[in-house]
């Protein structure tokens, strides 16, 4: 979905999941202001708080796992923003890659390919950053 209007403030991206969601607040320049992993059951309240704290202008939501449930929770919270769906294709793979770029393996683990390793923590927040960047890229193609 294309949105021709200029973006004048940060966006909040949510990578929805059954038990946890990645969330990221990203400026139109691509600078990440906030990222975290939150419990899905608390996502509406977390999003509501971040929308106010960062004066978020747009809310984007990944379109795959648990998207319908998270969309329903966000709508029930009566946020001032309607979620915009973003394609999640291969976003987890890219988020995992970003995680390892920011958190390279140490010691003997650096000898193993990262494709054979498990991240030390959930990396859904990195996936949310990828979703935010996809949305920002879609604005450039208008």
d(CA 131, CA 116): 24
Does residue 1 form part of some domain? no
The answer, yes or no, to whether residue 29 has pLDDT greater than 90, is yes
Report, as an integer, the average pLDDT of 39-53: 96
Residue 54 belongs to domain with CATH number:
3.30.420.140
Does residue 67 form part of some domain? yes
Mean pLDDT is lowest, of 100-104, 106-110, 137-141, for 137-141
What's the number of CA atoms in the CB half-sphere (13 Å) around residue 99? 24
Give the per-residue pLDDT at 140: 83
Does residue 85 form part of some domain? yes
The answer, yes or no, to whether residue 98 has pLDDT greater than 80, is yes
Split at pLDDT 50, 70, 90, the class of 4 is very low
Considering the chain, what is the average pLDDT of its residues?
Answer: 92
Residue positions counted in the chain: 142
The SS3 call for residue 84 is strand
Give the per-residue pLDDT at 142: 58
Domain span at 80: 11-140
Does residue 2 form part of some domain? no
Q: Which residue has the higher pLDDT, 4 or 18?
A: 18
């Amino acid at each position: 979905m294309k949105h021709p209007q200029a973006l004048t403030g940060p966006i909040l991206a949510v990578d929805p999941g059954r038990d946890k969601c990645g969330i990221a607040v990203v400026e139109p320049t691509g600078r990440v202001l906030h990222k975290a992993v939150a419990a899905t059951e608390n996502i509406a309240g977390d999003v509501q708080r971040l929308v106010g704290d960062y004066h978020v202008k747009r809310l984007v939501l990944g379109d795959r796992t648990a998207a319908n449930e998270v969309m329903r929770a966000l709508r029930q919270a009566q946020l001032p923003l309607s979620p915009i769906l973003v394609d999640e294709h291969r976003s987890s793979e890219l988020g995992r890659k970003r995680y390892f770029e920011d958190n390279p393996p140490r010691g003997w683990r650096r000898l193993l390919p990262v494709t054979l390793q498990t991240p030390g923590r959930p990396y859904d927040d990195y996936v949310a950053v990828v979703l935010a960047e996809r949305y920002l890229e879609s604005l450039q193609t208008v």
